[in-house]
Amino acid sequence: MLSIIMYHYVREIKQSRYPNIKGLEAHLFKKQLDYIEQNYSVVTAEQVIAYYNGAGTLPENAALLTFDDGYSDHFQYVYPILKNRKMQGSFFVPVKPVQENRVLDVNKIHLLLEAVPPKKLIAGIKRLLPDYQMEHDVADFEAYYQELAKPGRYDTAEVIFIKRLLQHKLPDDVRLDLLSRLFETFISVPEHVIARELYMTGDQCKCLVEDGMHVGAHTCDHLWLNQISDDRQDEQFRNNVSFLESIGADADTYTMAYPYGAYNRKTLDLMNKYNMKLGFTTEPIGNINLKETHPYELPRLDTNDLPVQQHPESSVSARN
């Protein structure tokens, strides 16, 4: 059996520029690793690939540690902690922020939610949305709210509405323009400054590879793959593979974590085309029976699904 644990932000949150962002404090990450060491045997991505290739076995209660979105947290905090414990992490890095010094849409939304109460953000969306209705295929605010405002595992209905509307529901040009206007209105720090603070550099990714960590694909723009065209999906894969080549990742061990856990049949075809060995979703299942699970559809537990210590006294929150 294998359990795969998924992390996003791991940092000293309360001392950071964004003290309200949802993530895992670095000291709690250490405590959670204590729990994992006591209850699991941490394995590498290469061991999982070897298992699927019929070239190796896994220990009982195996665990794989995965880290999404290429955050600088992962190099500053996670990497040294894992190295000290002789553990491997699998880091899934989107290309755009590393190569273009741009903030991903998903992170613009995170930062807006960190800085602005949801009701105020929703009021801003409601005020701006009519600007697009004359020239674009945009519905009324009430129709979107009724469809999208459903509570999730970790988010209120209001937060889910904001995320889904700005992640994929609106036409792309409208979505990007609306998100930019909201970001410029509520966030005072320049985008290029945020990007340099928020994400790893290409050299840092290369350092991870050279030091035995696993770096995998997370597309270029962190889009919902099941919401975009086949050609655009192919472009996302192609650009990500070029990035993996540039940092020295082993072409025989390419892996992909699907942004938001979203994929479709075309995605799986592209996984095969680009020689990906493992594909990771966000379906919250542990103790995976690998004999019954396709290597392109591996579920992952969120950090919230595990305690931060043997006898937990507090809870943590991390989200995509």
Q: How confident is the model over 67-119, as pLDDT tens digits?
A: 999 999 999 999 999 999 999 999 999 999 999 999 999 999 999 999 999 99
Q: Are residues 88 and 215 in the same domain?
A: yes
170 confidence band (pLDDT: 50, 70, 90): very high
Query: Is residue 319 pLDDT above 90, yes or no?
Result: no
Q: Are residues 177 and 223 in the same domain?
A: no
Q: Are residues 91 and 110 in the same domain?
A: no
Where does a domain end: 143, 169, 193? 193
- Report how many domains make up the chain: 2
Average pLDDT value for residue range 173-184 = 96
16 confidence band (pLDDT: 50, 70, 90): confident
Residue 80 lies in a domain: yes
Q: Are residues 27 and 80 in the same domain?
A: yes
Phi, psi (rounded to 5 degrees) for 209: -60, -45
Residue 318 lies in a domain: no
Range of the domain at 111: 105-193
Average pLDDT value for residue range 284-313 = 87
The set of residues, in sequence order, having a beta carbon less than 8 Å from that of 228 and lying 6+ positions away, is 236
Q: Are residues 60 and 135 in the same domain?
A: no
Query: Is residue 316 pLDDT above 50, yes or no?
Result: no
174 confidence band (pLDDT: 50, 70, 90): very high
Residue 139 lies in a domain: yes
- The residue whose two tokens read 């795969």 is 4
Q: Are residues 88 and 127 in the same domain?
A: no
Q: Are residues 97 and 111 in the same domain?
A: no
What is the rounded distance in angstroms from the CA atom of residue 126 to the CA atom of residue 140? 9
Q: Are residues 150 and 299 in the same domain?
A: no
Query: Is residue 312 pLDDT above 70, yes or no?
Result: no
Q: Are residues 207 and 89 in the same domain?
A: yes
Query: What is the DSSP annotation of the chain?
Result: -EEEEEE--EE-GGGSS-TTS--EEHHHHHHHHHHHHHH-EE--HHHHHHHHTTS----TTEEEEEEES-BHHIIIIIHHHHHHTT---EEEE-HHHHHH----HHHHHHHHHHHS-HHHHHHHHHHHGGGGTTTS----HHHHHHHH----SSS-HHHHHHHHIIIIIS-HHHHHHHHHHHHHHH--S-HHHHHHHHB--HHHHHHHHHTT-EEEE--SS---GGGS-HHHHHHHHHHHHHHHHHTT--GGG-EEE-GGG---HHHHHHHHHTT--EEE------SB-GGGS-TT-B--EEGGGS-SSSS--S------
Where does a domain end: 193, 210, 243? 193
Output the pLDDT for position 206: 98
Output the pLDDT for position 310: 54
Q: Which CATH number fits the domain that encloses residue 249?
A: 3.20.20.370
Residue 312 lies in a domain: no
Residue 316 lies in a domain: no
Q: Among residues of the chain, what percentage have pLDDT more than 90?
A: 91
